[in-house]
Every structure is written in structure tokens, then in C-alpha cells.
């Protein structure tokens, strides 16, 4: 992917964008400007009129919502309308990230997700955590606006490796002298001005500043407090100031130029923000603006503020209490040289470390890098897989613990693995076979016409440890054909079909084989498994239950004597068809209530999965149905007709 001027490659979907004010809107707007035309923006129809911008790109209003649940469903269509050579920039993980994730399953474009902090604080249910993990694992790139936000994301999604892009700052000129600007605002040139710029919500800590004001005024009676901003907490704050007899200059509708004038007029910037259950200061662009204007900054310690303010150097990070606020403001007002020195250090730091151009370059490089894809390298997969096999006591048992089982001969089992363009996953599948406590007699890998990689090279790497054979179709013929070909090439009395991304725990074959030998009345053995981070639990065999839905994975050990060929006309549900066919012939299965293998989560192919609620949505109401859903329902109809369900 090459990023070129005036050739957009990212499409931002967002609720927050100028003229709306706030950190998210400012962050996105400045990133768009830094991209020099490589990001276009789409906002909902109800978004306020945006200002004309002296750039070559535009902002489009599109339909984000409709009146029935889920209201955000049209967002999926908006995502699918974006060309696949572009990448969606998601500014709100819920619900825009959900829509981008679902659209990707239906053939939509790649997406990146930007996290700000507060969005993660609101992941407060198992369902939201589940969705967050699914979205993150399918995203091309994850972006965090601070180290603190990145750590919070990792606590919720252990596999997340976000790119940290703290806000930058667009340079602005301070064109006014202190005397001139104070004269314009009617403020005595000898006054001490304490400035706060914030949306007036409870967590910003303006109430703490008001509580600290009497102590500050006692020491410096010529202090003037200026608060720029508006919000739902404004009336409460005004009443609080009145009760405490504190005079505050409230400015609720300042534009950018007005704010910069007040930066020029101020002596100290103070925003003692505090963390709340569902709201945090993800970083705080205003801290950078104040520092760039040469002001010492006092900030409430917590979340991302420690990355915006260097304690003791560019200002102070404090516990957001009235005493702490008063002490630090008085200290700076008592020592103008200290305040000036901190302001100078802060400005130099912003000029050096917070350039938006650097942020855009980092993102562009990440998107261009092959390392940004969810797939890992062969070596990483091998190391991660072996580590997982060795470090999950709930999924594995030592050889000593296996000794009570009836151990069978190694020449009892054949393994058949169809593979199509998934050589990376095949490497880990074969590594897991090498670590089986019961080694198979024969392993056949059938390359189903791969065009993007070379499964043969992976097979050759493992040929010394496994009795491996390889067969290749010149063109892709489908998994049922590949499985049947592999079965014809083997002779062992028991056979198991592994997908190219199925990783067995070390004792899986031994436990399955032992169950078959202990229960001669059964024809096959199946177990629970993990798909990505999700446990897929099965249940006891019942033909009646199986006729309602499939709950048995293809990775099951089968008596060759009962095996039926896979129906090569089916593009989906070949395993469901097999189990129904066997059940209708009187063959029963045995459920081992253990997790004996895992499936690597990936974008498409055999491991392609959609949550149940997606299939239940009334897609025709939208006037269209995604291809994946059409294929699913079409294949389901074939199975039900074939088996008279």
C-alpha cells in the first residue's frame, strides 16, 4: 500500500469531528490534516455543519442509523460500500468497530481501531469484552493514544499489540504581547491568571480548582481564574463558585484564536482531572497546547496525563485534591522564574516530540508493513503454539497421568490434512503432531491447489519426525475432495481429519484412541475445542439434537469401517452431513468432555466464524443480504433437504 498526496487510502467513520469540540474530534482532525489528503472522513447525517477547510479533501455525511434495533446496522452497509483497497479508520470501537468487524467477514475492507481511553473504561460486561476481543483480533492495526490506554487494552485483550500514537500538536503563533492581550480582556497587567480549558464535565476537576481558590486568593489576592469551555456540568460549577464566593471568568463559546489569546494572557494552566468509573483523561491535548504556549502545567495524576506532563520538569502531576492544587499554584506564583523555566522546557519538549507529521508517518509505515497483519511468522506461530501446549494444565496431561489409559499401537491411526493457502498454520499443526504421546502411523497432507504459499516446504521440514506423504491438486477442488483423496491414500484402522489450522494437545490422539477401544459400540470420538479464545463446548451424541444443529467438529477420530466419503458437492457443512449420514446408519459417537485441540482464528476458510446473532438478523429489511449469509443459508437448505430435516 502506497500513500500518495490527494489519493485517500483511509476512510474515517466517526461521530466526533469539528466543529464539534473535544479531544477525539481534535485528534482525528489533526491526523487527517497531517495525512495530506490520505484520509477521507464520513460522519452521520445529524453531524453539525463543518467549517470550510483549506485542504483538498472533504467530509461526507452518510446514514449511520435506522429506527429499529440494532440502530447501527446501516453502518455495516457503509463499511461494505468502501472499496477494498482502502482501510477503515474506526474512531469508536462500539458500535463502529463492531460494524467494521462484521463487514470484513462479508468481504469488506480491512480496518484499524483508534482507542482513546474512555472507550475502554466502558467495556463493562462480558458481551462487550467478547466483542472487543473479536474486533481487535481481526483489525489490521490497533492504535492507542497513550501508554496507559495501551496497557488498559492489553488487560482486556491479551493478544493486542497496539501502535501508540499520542496526540501531536499543530504549531500555532502567539501573536500578542501579555500587556496587549490583557488590555483587550480588561485584566490588570499585574494580575495572576490561572487558566483552565475543558469540556465542563465532572471528571475535569474544575470543582477541585474552585475549592482550592480561596486558599490561593488568600496568598495572591490579585489572582484571576478563567475557565474556557461548556458542558453538562456548567451550571453546577457556576453555583459552586457562587457558594464559595469565588469570581471566575466563564467563557463558553471561544474559538481557537480566542483560546490562544488566553494562553498568551495566562501565568499557569491548571486542570486537575480525575479518573472516574467510566471516564478518564486518555491523554489531554490541552496540556500540550498550554506547554507550547510556554505555560507551566498542573494536571491531575492518572491515566495518560503522566505522558503529557513531565512531573517536576514541565509542571506538576498531583493528586486531584484542593490542597494539592492550591499548594502547587501558590508555589509557581511565588517563584516566577520556576514557572517560566517549566514553561520553556514544556515548549521545547512539544516542539521536539509531538509532531503530527511523525504520527502520520508511523501509522503509514505500520499499514505498509507486512508485520501489521494479524498472521504471525512461522517462527512466532511455532513458539506460541509450543508454549501454549506446554503451559495450559487444563488442556494437557503429563505422560505419567496418561499411563492408566489403554495405550494403542502407533500404527492404528492415520491423519489426513487438507491445506489450501495456509502453510503457516500447517507448520504448527504438524509440530503438534510431533508432540503427540501416541504417534500416528501415517500423515497425509493434501495441497488443494495452493497459490499463495507452499505447503510442500512445510511438509519437508517435518518429514524427519513424522511419516509424512504429500499430494497436490493442480487446482482448488474443495475440502471434501481433498479429505477423500487423503483417506484413499491411508490404511490405518482409525482416521482423523485435521484442518490445516487445528492444533492437538499432546495426549489428544491417545485419549481418543483409548475411548474407541474401550467403547466398541461407538464409531467415532469427538471433543470440545477452542476457536481463538472462545471455548466451543460440545455435548452427548444424539441424532435428534444433531438434526437441529451441528455440534461436532471434523477433527474427530473415526473407525475406518464406518467412514463414509465426504459429499464433494457441498461447499459448507460437510462435517454436519457426515455425522447425520453416520447417525442415520445407526453409528453413534462418543463425546469426551475435554478440550483436546484448538483452531487458529483467521480471516477466511475453514475457520471462518460468525456469532449466532448475525445469522438471526433480519437482513432482508435492509434490502440486501451479505454473500456470506446467503451462502450459509443456501448450504443449510441443501443439508436439511438431503436429510429430510
In this structure, of 101-110, 211-220, 362-371, the range with the lowest mean pLDDT score is 362-371
d(CA 504, CA 508): 6
Q: What is the pLDDT of residue 629?
A: 61
Higher pLDDT, 568 or 336: 336
Q: What is the pLDDT of residue 467?
A: 92
Cα-based distances in Å from 63 to 42, 102, 179: 9, 17, 50
The b-or-e profile of 102-133 (16+ CB within 10 A means b, else e) is bbbbbebbbbbbbbbbbbbbebeeeebeebbb
C-alpha cell belonging to residue 408: 494403542
pLDDT tens digits along 197-224? 999 998 899 999 999 999 999 999 999 9
C-alpha cell belonging to residue 219: 496568598
Contact by Cβ (8 Å): 311, 305: no
The mean predicted confidence, pLDDT, of the chain is 85
Higher pLDDT, 394 or 349: 349
In this structure, of 47-56, 138-147, 493-502, 520-529, the range with the lowest mean pLDDT score is 47-56
Label residue 379 by pLDDT band (50, 70, 90).
very low
Contact by Cβ (8 Å): 301, 320: yes
Higher pLDDT, 156 or 47: 156
In this structure, of 263-272, 525-534, 577-586, the range with the lowest mean pLDDT score is 525-534
- Residue 4: pLDDT above 50? no
What is the percentage of the chain residues whose pLDDT exceeds 90? 60
Label residue 402 by pLDDT band (50, 70, 90).
very low
Higher pLDDT, 350 or 49: 350
Q: Which structural domains are found in the chain, ordered by start?
A: 10-164 (3.40.50.2000), 178-354 (3.40.50.2000), 380-608 (3.90.550.10), 610-645 (no CATH)
Q: Average pLDDT of 154-181?
A: 87
Label residue 619 by pLDDT band (50, 70, 90).
low
- Residue 574: pLDDT above 70? yes
C-alpha cell belonging to residue 439: 504417534
Q: Average pLDDT of 599-626?
A: 55
Label residue 617 by pLDDT band (50, 70, 90).
low
Q: Average pLDDT of 101-113?
A: 93
Radius of gyration of the chain measured on its C-alpha atoms: 31
Amino acid at each position: 500500500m502506497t500513500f500518495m498526496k490527494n489519493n485517500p487510502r483511509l476512510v474515517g467513520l466517526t461521530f466526533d469531528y469539528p466543529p464539534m469540540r473535544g479531544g477525539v474530534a481534535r485528534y482525528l482532525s489533526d491526523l487527517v490534516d497531517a495525512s495530506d489528503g490520505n484520509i477521507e472522513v464520513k460522519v452521520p447525517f445529524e453531524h453539525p455543519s463543518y467549517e470550510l477547510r483549506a485542504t483538498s479533501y472533504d467530509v461526507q455525511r452518510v446514514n449511520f442509523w435506522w429506527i429499529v434495533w440494532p440502530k447501527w446496522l446501516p453502518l455495516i452497509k457503509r463499511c461494505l460500500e468502501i472499496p477494498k483497497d482502502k482501510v477503515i479508520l474506526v474512531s469508536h470501537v462500539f458500535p463502529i468497530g463492531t460494524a467494521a468487524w462484521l463487514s470484513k467477514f462479508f468481504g469488506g475492507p480491512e480496518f484499524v481501531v483508534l482507542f482513546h481511553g474512555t472507550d475502554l473504561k466502558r467495556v463493562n460486561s462480558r458481551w462487550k469484552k467478547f466483542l472487543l476481543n473479536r474486533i481487535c483480533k481481526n483489525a489490521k492495526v490497533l492504535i492507542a493514544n497513550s501508554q496507559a490506554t495501551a496497557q488498559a487494552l492489553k488487560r482486556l485483550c491479551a493478544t493486542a499489540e497496539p501502535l501508540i500514537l499520542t496526540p501531536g500538536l499543530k504549531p500555532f503563533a502567539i501573536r500578542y504581547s501579555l500587556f496587549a492581550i490583557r488590555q483587550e480582556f480588561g485584566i490588570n497587567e499585574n494580575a495572576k491568571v490561572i487558566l483552565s480549558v475543558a469540556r465542563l464535565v465532572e471528571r475535569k476537576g474544575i470543582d477541585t480548582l474552585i475549592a482550592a481558590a480561596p486558599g490561593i486568593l488568600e496568598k495572591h489576592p490579585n489572582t484571576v481564574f478563567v475557565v474556557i469551555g461548556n458542558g453538562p456540568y456548567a451550571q453546577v460549577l457556576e453555583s459552586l463558585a457562587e457558594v464559595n464566593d469565588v469570581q471566575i471568568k466563564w467563557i463558553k463559546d471561544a474559538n481557537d484564536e480566542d483560546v490562544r489569546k488566553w494562553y498568551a494572557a495566562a501565568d499557569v494552566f491548571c486542570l486537575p482531572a480525575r479518573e472516574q468509573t467510566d471516564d478518564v483523561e486518555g491523554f489531554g491535548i490541552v496540556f500540550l497546547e498550554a506547554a507550547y504556549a510556554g505555560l507551566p502545567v498542573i494536571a491531575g495524576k492518572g491515566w495518560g496525563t503522566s505522558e503529557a506532563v513531565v512531573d517536576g520538569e514541565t509542571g506538576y502531576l498531583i493528586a486531584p485534591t484542593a490542597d494539592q492544587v492550591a499548594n502547587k499554584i501558590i508555589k509557581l506564583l511565588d517563584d516566577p522564574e520556576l514557572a517560566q523555566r517549566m514553561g520553556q522546557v514544556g515548549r521545547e519538549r512539544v516542539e521536539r516530540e509531538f509532531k503530527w507529521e511523525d504520527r502520520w508517518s508511523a501509522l503509514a509505515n505500520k499499514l505498509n508493513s507486512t508485520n501489521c497483519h494479524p498472521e504471525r511468522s512461522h517462527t512466532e506461530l511455532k513458539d506460541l503454539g509450543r508454549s501454549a501446549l506446554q503451559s495450559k494444565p487444563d488442556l494437557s496431561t503429563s505422560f505419567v497421568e496418561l499411563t492408566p489409559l489403554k495405550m494403542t499401537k502407533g500404527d492404528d491411526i492415520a491423519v489426513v490434512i487438507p491445506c489450501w493457502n495456509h502453510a503457516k498454520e500447517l507448520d504448527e499443526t504438524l509440530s503438534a503432531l510431533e508432540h503427540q504421546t501416541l504417534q500416528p502411523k501415517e500423515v497425509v497432507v493434501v495441497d488443494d491447489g495452493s497459490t499463495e504459499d507452499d505447503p510442500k516446504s512445510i511438509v519437508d521440514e517435518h518429514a524427519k519426525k513424522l511419516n509424512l506423504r504429500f499430494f497436490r491438486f493442480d487446482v482448488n477442488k474443495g475440502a471434501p475432495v481433498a479429505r477423500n483423496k487423503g483417506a484413499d491414500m491411508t490404511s490405518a484402522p482409525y482416521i482423523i481429519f485435521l484442518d490445516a489450522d487445528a492444533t492437538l494437545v499432546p495426549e489428544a490422539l491417545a485419549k481418543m484412541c483409548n475411548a474407541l477401544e474401550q467403547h466398541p459400540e461407538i464409531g467415532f470420538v469427538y471433543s470440545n475445542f477452542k476457536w481463538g479464545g472462545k471455548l466451543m463446548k460440545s455435548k452427548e451424541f444424539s441424532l435428534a439434537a444433531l438434526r437441529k444443529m451441528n455440534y461436532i467438529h471434523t477433527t474427530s477420530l473415526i473407525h475406518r469401517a464406518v467412514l463414509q466419503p465426504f459429499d464433494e458437492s457441498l461447499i459448507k457443512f460437510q462435517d454436519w452431513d457426515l455425522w447425520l449420514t453416520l447417525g442415520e446408519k445407526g453409528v453413534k459417537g462418543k463425546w469426551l468432555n475435554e478440550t483436546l485441540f484448538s483452531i487458529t482464528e483467521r480471516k477466511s476458510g475453514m475457520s471462518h466464524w460468525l456469532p449466532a446473532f448475525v445469522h438471526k438478523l433480519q437482513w432482508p429489511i435492509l434490502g440486501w443480504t451479505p454473500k456470506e449469509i446467503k451462502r450459509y443459508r443456501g448450504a443449510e437448505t441443501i443439508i436439511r433437504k438431503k436429510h429430510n430435516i
